[in-house]
Amino acid sequence: MSKRLIVILALLAAVAAGAVWLHFELLNHAWAYKLNGEWYRTDEGWSLLLSAWPVALAGAVIGGAVLFFIFGWLFMQGFEEDTKREISVMAMQLEHAEKQARTADKRAEERLANQWEDLKNKEAAARQALSEYKELKQKTIDYCKSAKEQIEEAEVKVAEAETKRDNSAAMAERFRKKLNRLSGASEGS
């Protein structure tokens, strides 16, 4: 519970206790005056305050000032203690928040480092795949060139073979004609 609240409740209790005390005290007093040797009562109880208002006013001012200074001082003491307590609570909350922030920073840095490492690994894998792709592409290009050269060589060989075949066929035809002539000449003789 707040010290200031305790001081305010104590002030209210003191004012209530003072009012109760004043009530019972006023029942024992009366305002009287003497006329021709006899005493007459004019006021008693609470109505006595109306007749004795200067005294009541001075008592209220003096008592109020004393109460004001005493309870003002107590209120300020309570305010200082409450403020110190609030500051210590806030300091603990700040320390806890800073600790959480440091922990969150560490976790974020670790996550970032892991993501960076994963990114590096993915980049290295991509570079490796690109290198393999380029190597495979070059091998394919070389294979295609080699195949094209082999096809061209084969076409040349085929052309040479066709030429030889044609030449052989022509030579065979010439031999056959010559043989036919020679066989026709030998038959005729």
**Amino acid 189: pLDDT:** 57
The domain ranges of the chain are 3-126
- Cβ neighbours around 48 below 10 Å, total: 19
Is residue 51 within 8 Å of residue 43, measured between CB atoms? yes
Whose CA is closest to 41, among 51, 29, 31, 50? Answer: 31
Whose CA is closest to 63, among 25, 18, 10? Answer: 18
Lowest mean pLDDT among 80-84, 147-151, 161-165, 181-185: 181-185
Q: Quick one: average pLDDT of 153-173?
A: 89
- pLDDT tens-digit series, residues 56-111: 889 889 988 988 898 888 888 888 888 898 999 999 999 999 999 999 999 999 99
The two counts, helices (H) then strands (E), for the chain are 3, 2
**Amino acid 140: pLDDT:** 94
Sign of the Cα pseudo-torsion (66, 68, 69, 72, in order): positive
- Pairwise CA distance, residues 73 & 68, whole Å: 8
Task: Give the CA distances from residue 41 to residues 31, 37, 38, 44, 151, in Å, rounded to whole numbers and listed in that order.
Answer: 6, 13, 10, 8, 149
